[in-house]
Amino acid sequence: MKLYFAPLACSLAAHIVSRELDLPLERVQVDTRAQRVAGGADYRAVNPLGMVPALELPNGELLTENAAVLQYLAAQRPDSGMSPRTPLEQARLHQWLSFVGTELHKVVYLALLDEHAPDAVREEALRKAPPRLAYAARALENAEFLLPHFSVADAYLFTILHWSQVTPIRLADYPSLAAYVERIKARPAVARALHEELELYVEERARRKSERAPRPTREAPRQA
């Protein structure tokens, strides 16, 4: 399988799950601004929406959307416990994946991270953030994970909450969330994925800065 990802984007959740389950994935970095993959090919030829993650299956089919990709990866190791078996456990997993994907990722963090978002949009996102964060915080006050065990929902929630450090959101205002992020970050698979993507993110930022820098012009030769 081939995972298309962007450093520290929401695709980090799929990277974390692949490390947790020791899945043999080929990872392909995507520059989501330039819509190019490593080597310069147009990423929209892979995913017309230009978004990550995208998972190319062995038969050539493409799977997109975080919730779908994460659950498919978990199903590759059914005995790992990351893919619930009972109908209620499955429903709870879908509940949390839906909550993280819509109420936190899309409604709150996407607006705050969009450098082109109008101030009114960012203010509305900050207004909507507290009740949603408080909801997740209450669920984790007396629980280690969202479900009785570490699941793909935790990989997704951690990825989104980790973005808080570059937004006005203070996780310190939600002690159970702050503790949860530190707890998940300490997992070896999570730490490895985070370290690898941070290095790639720094390299990508440096490359973009270099590309934006004005190139020196040669002085035209003086005529005799």
Instruction: Evaluate if residue 125 carries a pLDDT over 60.
Output: yes
User: What value does the mean pLDDT of the chain take?
Assistant: 93
Give me the helix-helix angle, 87-98 and 66-75, nearest 10°.
150
Instruction: Evaluate if residue 218 carries a pLDDT over 70.
Output: no
The domain defined by 84-185 carries CATH number 3.40.640.10: no
pLDDT-derived band at 223 (thresholds 50, 70, 90) equals very low
* Residue 111 pLDDT: 96
List phi, psi (to 5°) of 64: -125, 175
Give the pLDDT confidence of 132-160 residue by residue, as tens digits: 999 999 999 999 999 999 999 999 999 99
What's the rounded mean pLDDT across residues 78-97? 91
Instruction: Evaluate if residue 58 carries a pLDDT over 80.
Output: yes
Range(s) of the chain covered by CATH 3.40.30.10: 2-79+188-207
* Residue 220 pLDDT: 40
> Do residues 26 and 82 touch, judged by C-beta distance below 8 A?
no
* Residue 209 pLDDT: 82
* Residue 222 pLDDT: 43
Instruction: Evaluate if residue 215 carries a pLDDT over 80.
Output: no
The domain made up of 2-79+188-207 has a fold known as: Glutaredoxin (3.40.30)
- 150-159, 182-191, 208-217: which has the minimum mean pLDDT? 208-217
For the chain, give the percent of residues with pLDDT over 70: 95
How far apart, in whole angstroms, are the C-alpha atoms of residue 107 and residue 132?
Answer: 10
Range(s) of the chain covered by CATH 1.20.1050.10: 84-185
- State the Cα angle at 60 between 199 and 21, rounded to 5°: 50
* Residue 219 pLDDT: 47
* Residue 38 pLDDT: 83
Q: Which one has a higher pLDDT value, 204 or 163?
A: 163
* Residue 213 pLDDT: 62
Q: Which one has a higher pLDDT value, 171 or 39?
A: 171
What 105-112 contacts at long range (C-beta under 8 Å, 24+ apart), as own/partner pairs, is 105/10, 105/66, 105/156, 105/160, 107/132, 108/132, 108/133, 108/169, 109/160, 109/163, 109/167, 112/163, 112/167, 112/168, 112/169
Instruction: Evaluate if residue 161 carries a pLDDT over 90.
Output: yes
Q: Say what the pTM is.
A: 0.92
Q: Which helix (H) or strand (E) holds 199?
A: helix 188-212
CA distances from 134 to 53, 152, 155, 177, 222 (A): 27, 21, 19, 9, 69
